[in-house]
Structure 1
Amino acid sequence: MVDADQTFVIVGGGLAGAKAAETLRTEGFTGRVILVCDERDHPYERPPLSKGYLLGKEERDSVFVHEPAWYARHDVELHLGQTVVEIDRAAKTVHYGDDGTHVRYDKLLIATGAEPRRLDVPGTDLAGVHHLRRLAHAERLKGVLTSLGRDNGHLVIAGAGWIGLEVAAAAREYGAEVTVVEPGPTPLHGVLGPELGAVFAELHEAHGVRFRFGVRLTEIIGQDGVVLAARTDDGEEHPAHDVLAAIGAAPRTALAQAAGLEIADRAHGGGIVVDEHLRTGDPDIYAAGDVASFHHALFDTSLRVEHWANALNGGPAAARAMLGKGLAHDRVPYFFTDQYDLGMEYSGWAPAGSYDQVVIRGDAAKREFIAFWVREGRVLAGMNVNVWEVTEPIQQLIRSKAPVDTEALANPHVPLESLIA
C-alpha cells in the first residue's frame, strides 16, 4: 500500500525520469518524489538535438519536458548537477553530490540512460572531435556546423547510424562538406539491412554526402590541438576540420552493477535486467528508458530500446508499477527520423536474421513507400517513408502475429486495415 509517508527516488533526469515523476503525481501519489540529475539543465527530450534544434528550427526552450516551474508546483524535489555515487540496497539509500548527501527510498527508479561510445583511436583528444548526446553537445555542434557551412569546411562522421545520418543532413543544410565513414556495406545495415540501407545512401549521396563503406577510422590527425584530417584503415586521409563520433551508445549501468543488480549480456542490449513490469531482481528497484533491458512479451525476448518512444512510455509504465498499478510494458518499439525531405517512422523489431523477406508497398525510388520485414508471412516490423497516418495499422499487423497475403501487403490499393486478423 502506497501512502504519503513514502519516498520515491528517480535517478536520471531524461525523458523517462521526468515522465515517471509526472505520472506519480497524476496517479495520485502524495508522498515525496526526488529526481536526481547529473546535468545542470532541466530534463529535456533528445530527438531535437539532432533534428529541429540542431537545424535552428526549434528554440532551446522547446526541448524541455516541463517548464522549470512545473517541478516545484508539483512538489517534485529536483536536484540538478548532482551525480548519484552509490545505491545501498541493504539500507535502501542513495548517495549523491559532492557532500555525500544520502536519502532513504521506498521505491527507486534508475533512468540513467546511455552515453556515446568513444572512438579508440589516436587524436580523440583534439578540440574538433565531437559527440552528440546532451544539450551542451548540441549547442556546441550547432555553432560548429554554422562555421563549417560559412567557411566551406569539412566534417567527417564516424558511423552511419541514425545520429550520424541526421547530423550529416543537418551539416549539408548548413553548407558543410560531409564524409561519412562506415564499416558496414550500407548505412543502418544492422537495423534496416541492405535493401533499405541503400535508400538512405542514395538520399544522402543526392545531397552531396560522400560515403566510405567497409572502412574504419584509425586516426584523427591534428596540429596544435586542431583537427586537420581523418585517416581510415584503407590508408586514405580525408580532409576534416571537425569529426563527429556517432558509433552508438552504451547503457549507463555502472551504478546498478555496483549495487549488485543483474546486467544483461550484449546480445540482449547490455542494460539493467528488468521484467515486463520494469522491475529488477530487487522488488523495490525499477529501471526504464535506454538503460533497461526488459522482457517484451510480444517478441518473447529481452530488448533494450534506445528510442524516444520507449522513454516516453517506459517512464510512466515504471511509475505505475512502483505504485502497484503496473501492466506489462509491451508497446511496439517505435522511432522516427527526418532527413532533408524524407520523413520516416519505424515500428517493430526485426534484427538481422529474423526475417526472410522485405515487402515494399509503394515507390521506393520516389521515397514514398512502406517496407515490411516479414517472416513466414508474419509482419515483424514496418517502416513508412513519406507515407503518413499508417502507424496504427502497421502496429496492429505486428501485434496480430497472423500470416498475411504478401501480394496484398505490397499492393497500395489494398487497405492495410483489411489485412489485420
Structure 2
Amino acid sequence: MRPYIKTEKQGLKLIVISSGNASIDKATVCTEDGRRYVYEKLCICAGARPKLITHGNPHVLGIRDTDSAQLNRVFAVLTRYEIEGCEVIWAVKDKAMGNTFFDAGAAQFLVPQLESAKPKAPAICKRTKYSTEAEDCGLKVNEHMCTSEPDIYAAGDVCTTAWEPSSLWQQMRLWTQARQMGWYAAKCMAADTLGQSIEMDFCFELFAHITKFFNHKVVLLGKYNAQGLGRDHELLLRCTKGHEYVKVVMQRGRMMGAVLIGDTDLEETFENLILNQMDLSAYGEDLLNPNIDIEDYFD
C-alpha cells in the first residue's frame, strides 16, 4: 500500500505507512520494500498477536474479530451458531460465552439464543482474545502515548499503558480503544511539535465499549466485572428473559460499573452515575426497579 501524505494547515506533514515489516534506525523508518522515511515524530500502530492454542498449524485459525475476517458469514461467540458449509472437527472455547467481556451470569442470558432462529441480519460480534495482562510484552507508553525512546509514540494493541489509570478505566485490546489511543497520540505528537501542552483525553476517564452478541446490544461501562475491586463490592441484577440483562457493580454505595444487554436505554444514565460517583445507598435494590423510571429521575 502506498503511503498517504497530507499537509496540515499548521505546516505539519503526516505520512501514514502500511508495511508488513519495518525497521527503525536514527530517526529513519526502513520499510520492507526498501523505502526510507525520515521522521520528526513517529507513532507505532503495529497491533498485537492473539493467543492461539497452537502456532504453525494450518487447520487452526485465529480471528481477532469479525471485522478483521474476510468472510461472507458472520462469526458469533460459538461456532455452532453461525458456521455453515464447513466441517468443524472440534472447537475450543472459554468456560462461559463472551468470557472476555462478561461473567457467566450474563452469558447464561444469551444461551437460549443458541436454540432460537437466526436473525435475518446477524449482528457483528467483536470478540478479542488478546491479553490484558500487565507484563504482555507491549511497548510501555506514558500519559502522552510516548515510549521510552524520544519522539517515538505507540497506540493501540501494540502498547501497554504505564500511567496511573483512572479508577474507572482499564486497558483492553479492543478496536474502539485502539482508535481512541490513535486520536490521542496524534494530538500529543502535534502538541509537542508545536510546543503546546495537552491534557489527558476524557476517553480515559471511564471505560466504555458497545458491541453486539446474538443481535443483542451490549454495553460495558467502568469496572463492569468488578476488576480490581476485591471483595469489597456488591452486584445488583435485573433480568427479563429474552429481553434484557442489567448488572450493576456497587462499592460503598457508589456505582463502579455496569453490563447492559438488550435495549435498556440506561447507558447514558449509568455513565453519568458512574462518573459523578453519587452516593446511591439510599436507593438500594430500587435502583433497578423496573417500575421506577430512573432515567428521568437522575437526569
How much does 1:269 deviate?
5.2
Deviations 1:227-266 (A, max 9, x none): xxxxxxxxxxxxxxxxxxx882359xxxxxxxxxxxxxx3
Aligned match of 2:13: 32
CA root-mean-square deviation: 3.8
1:126-137 alignment, distance < 5 Å: 126=59, 129-133=60-64
Is residue 358 from structure 1 mapped to residue 235 from structure 2 by the alignment?
yes
User: Does the CA contact (< 8 Å) of 2:76 and 2:213 recur in 1?
Assistant: no
CA distance in 1, matches of 2:153, 2:297: 40
Aligned match of 1:415: 294
User: CA separation of 1:116/1:375 partners in 2, compared to 1, >3 Å: closer, same or farther?
Assistant: same
TM-score normalised over the length of structure 1: 0.55
User: Does the CA contact (< 8 Å) of 2:226 and 2:249 recur in 1?
Assistant: no
Aligned match of 1:263: none
Is residue 182 from structure 1 mapped to residue 115 from structure 2 by the alignment?
no
Query: 3-state SS of the aligned residue for 1:138?
Result: coil
Q: 1:248 aligns with which of 117, 129, 135?
A: 129
How much does 1:292 deviate?
2.4
Aligned length: 275
How much does 1:109 deviate?
0.8
Aligned match of 1:157: none
CA distance in 1, matches of 2:27, 2:296: 50
Aligned match of 2:256: 380
Q: Which amino acid aligns with 1:338?
A: K
CA distance in 2, matches of 1:200, 1:136: 22
Q: 2:217 aligns with which of 330, 339, 343?
A: 343
User: Does the CA contact (< 8 Å) of 1:191 and 1:351 recur in 2?
Assistant: no
How much does 1:113 deviate?
1.7
User: Does the CA contact (< 8 Å) of 1:110 and 1:286 recur in 2?
Assistant: yes
Deviations 1:172-230 (A, max 9, x none): xx58787753342x22345422221222334335569xxxxxxxxxxxxxxxxxxxxxx
Q: 1:315 aligns with which of 179, 182, 188?
A: 182
TM-score normalised over the length of structure 2: 0.74
Aligned match of 2:103: 193
How much does 1:416 deviate?
4.1
CA distance in 2, matches of 1:402, 1:96: 52
Query: 3-state SS of the aligned residue for 1:131?
Result: coil
Query: 3-state SS of the aligned residue for 1:395?
Result: helix
User: CA separation of 1:291/1:400 partners in 2, compared to 1, >3 Å: closer, same or farther?
Assistant: farther
Q: Which amino acid aligns with 2:176?
A: A
Is residue 98 from structure 1 mapped to residue 9 from structure 2 by the alignment?
no
Q: 1:125 aligns with which of 31, 43, 58?
A: 58
User: Does the CA contact (< 8 Å) of 2:222 and 2:257 recur in 1?
Assistant: yes
How much does 1:317 deviate?
1.0
Does 349-358 or 270-279 show the bigger shift? Answer: 349-358
User: Does the CA contact (< 8 Å) of 2:168 and 2:256 recur in 1?
Assistant: no
How much does 1:283 deviate?
4.1
Q: Which amino acid aligns with 2:279?
A: P
Query: 3-state SS of the aligned residue for 1:318?
Result: helix
User: Does the CA contact (< 8 Å) of 1:344 and 1:383 recur in 2?
Assistant: yes
1:253-268 alignment, distance < 5 Å: 266-267=133-134
Q: Please identify which structure carries the higher helix content.
A: 1
Query: 3-state SS of the aligned residue for 2:29?
Result: strand
Is residue 391 from structure 1 mapped to residue 296 from structure 2 by the alignment?
no
Gaps of 5+ in 2: 119-126, 192-196
How much does 1:410 deviate?
1.5
CA distance in 2, matches of 1:136, 1:309: 12
CA distance in 1, matches of 2:28, 2:259: 44
Could you tell me the percent identity over the aligned residues?
21
User: CA separation of 1:382/1:183 partners in 2, compared to 1, >3 Å: closer, same or farther?
Assistant: closer
User: CA separation of 1:400/1:196 partners in 2, compared to 1, >3 Å: closer, same or farther?
Assistant: same
Q: Which amino acid aligns with 2:58?
A: D
1:81-92 alignment, distance < 5 Å: 82-88=19-25, 91-92=26-27
